[in-house]
Structure 1
């Protein structure tokens, strides 16, 4: 039985999670396609945006639940969307897809910051959709929410009442 690249990244992620020297890092931790650790520093405005998104998801996403900083094994390493939204049914499927799962939540959300750009967001968007996300949202530094499925849409099809601005 052959393993996929995403499954190989699951093993590397387990090594990282078990490493005591990495337990208290004040950074968002991801891996790249070579399994190398990528660190991103946190900023208060980024955390504020994540909190606002989570609050709005609770208001508009009755059938699912939001989670912050959710690890997802992709073909190009373990990525950690800033916020995800997942239904109970998808969560059951994800729980069967390894740790971290190779199956994405229905919605993966990234918050833009000075540490990333639209090329990176396009790459992450592609990875999340390939892993099964129905939508990927990108929240700009100004708070505008951009919704993507196969292409950019005016609003979310999964949660159509979610506002265009956070």
Structure 2
């Protein structure tokens, strides 16, 4: 299945799941909780304040070598948006991609997503647990804090 077919399919609209595609075009679904939505909002708001420009995107689709992955939150600079607009899915990852873990996510799955977003050009990938504890990754490896958001997170 192609990503546009997922977006256009009326049967897949308004599902209480995050939908992604694997590299074979099969649909993967993860249940989303209200806390998950709350964390998306908090992280997006913090990115908006901390970056002082650019665009925050919720449910940001990125074409990776393992299919379409959907970052829970992403931040894209004005330069990124000028170059890529809002193409769906992005062929290049925005500068910051954030994944919020769900109970169904394994550590290996999250580590793989970090590497997939970094391989597609993300400067940082954040992984946030259900308590709001966040780990930060860059191409050089795990970092103590974000280097992209000056007021910390």
Fold match (TM-score > 0.5):
yes
| Alignment equivalent of 2:50, drawn from 41, 54, 60 | 60
Deviates more, 1:66-75 or 1:11-20: 11-20
Give the superposition deviation at 1:43: 0.4
| Count of residue pairs the alignment pairs up | 152
1:68-83 matches, within 5 Å, as 68-83=58-73
The separation in 1 between residues aligned to 2:62 and 2:82, in whole angstroms, is 15
Partner of 1:12: 2
* 8 Å contact kept, 1:68–1:84: yes
* 8 Å contact kept, 2:32–2:102: no
TM-score by length of 2: 0.92
TM-score by length of 1: 0.85
| Alignment equivalent of 1:100, drawn from 65, 89, 93 | 89
Where in structure 1 do 4 or more consecutive aligned residues deviate above 3 Å? none
Deviates more, 1:127-136 or 1:54-63: 54-63
For residues 23-52 of structure 1, give each alpha carbon's deviation from its aligned partner in whole angstroms, at most 9, with x where no partner exists.
232211100111101111110111111111
SS at match of 2:29: strand
| Alignment equivalent of 2:40, drawn from 41, 47, 50 | 50
* 8 Å contact kept, 1:110–1:137: yes
Is it true that 1:116 corresponds to 2:105 in the alignment?
Answer: yes
Deviates more, 1:103-112 or 1:152-161: 152-161
For residues 30-76 of structure 1, give each alpha carbon's deviation from its aligned partner in whole angstroms, at most 9, with x where no partner exists.
00111101111110111111111111112211032211111111111
Partner of 1:8: none
Partner of 2:124: 135
Alpha-carbon RMSD across the aligned residues, in angstroms, is 1.6
**Runs of at least 5 residues in structure 1 that lack an aligned partner in the other structure:** 1-10
The separation in 2 between residues aligned to 1:16 and 1:44, in whole angstroms, is 23
Greater radius of gyration (CA): 1
Which has a greater percent of strand? Answer: 2
Is it true that 1:162 corresponds to 2:152 in the alignment?
Answer: yes
* 8 Å contact kept, 1:57–1:162: no
